[in-house]
Amino acid sequence: NAGVTQTPKFQVLKTGQSMTLQCAQDMNHEYMSWYRQDPGMGLRLIHYSVGAGITDQGEVPNGYNVSRSTTEDFPLRLLSAAPSQTSVYFCASSYRGAGDTQYFGPGTRLTVL
Amino acid sequence: EDQVTQSPEALRLQEGESSSLNCSYTVSGLRGLFWYRQDPGKGPEFLFTLYSAGEEKEKERLKATLTKKESFLHITAPKPEDSATYLCALLGSGNTGKLIFGQGTTLQVKP
């Protein structure tokens, strides 16, 4: 099993550009989530999904969109990038929910100029 | 409001010098407290889950304990390879699918 994969590993955007961060898992997990990690602020939940076709907002959802058309994939879309979205983004998955062991991807380091 | 606070922010130890990391929490009805380890440039990796006050879990040099207000991660005779950031997380109260993380404690163990 590849586990949780994320692409790209690094990305530089200009303010106003849009892009999609990819996340995929091959463990047949129902629950997937996106976090951002900033210095001194820990991991903050952006959006999560409890299954295909179902998504919900986390703590910091503004400026981000998600969809879950398959069990395996959970892409995160930045609609119009802002410097405040410079961060490291982690995708995670678990068997059923937030209370199960979370398996994290390797992260995407995003810089918005 | 559900909240998780970790202390200290950073901790430097000599190899073999035991210590503890603290995670204070507030939640309406604890449904799970989690410890993760994160190495630089990588995603967090699961260590322990605790569910009720008095519960303890151990793995090699690490032992996690839980009270009604705090969790401790005790590190006994640490080695340089224990250097990492340790994250505490709480399952949010109510019918939510949310995990709430603390800021983390960065541990450096010097040989």
Express each pLDDT in B27-70 by its tens digit: 988 999 999 999 999 999 999 999 999 999 999 999 999 999 99
Pick from A35, A48, A103: which is nearest to B97 by CB?
A: A48
Question: Is residue B97's pLDDT more than 80?
Answer: no
Rg (CA), chain A: 13
Q: Which residues of B touch A74 (CB under 8 A)?
A: none
Residue B92's pLDDT band, with cuts at 50, 70 and 90, is confident
Look at A90 and B43 and tell me if their CB atoms are within 8 Å.
yes
Check: CB of residue A63 under 8 Å from CB of residue A80. Answer: yes
What are the DSSP calls for chain B, one per residue? --EEEEE-SEEEEETT--EEEEEEEE-SS---EEEEEE-TTS--EEEEEE-STT-EEEETTEEEEE-SSEEEEEE-S--GGG-EEEEEEEEPSSS---EEE---EEEEEE-
Mutate to test the interface with B, among A43, A96, A102 (most CBs of B within 10 A): A43
- Could you give the CA distance from residue A62 to residue A77 in angstroms, rounded to a whole number? 11
Q: Quote the percentage of chain A above a pLDDT of 70.
A: 100
Residue B26's pLDDT band, with cuts at 50, 70 and 90, is very high
Q: Give me the pLDDT at residue B71, please.
A: 98
- Could you give the CA distance from residue B69 to residue B74 in angstroms, rounded to a whole number? 16
* β-strands B19-26, A64-66 pairing: unpaired
Residue A54's pLDDT band, with cuts at 50, 70 and 90, is very high
pLDDT tens for A13-51 read: 999 999 999 999 999 999 999 999 998 888 999 999 999
Mutate to test the interface with A, among B27, B52, B99 (most CBs of A within 10 A): B99
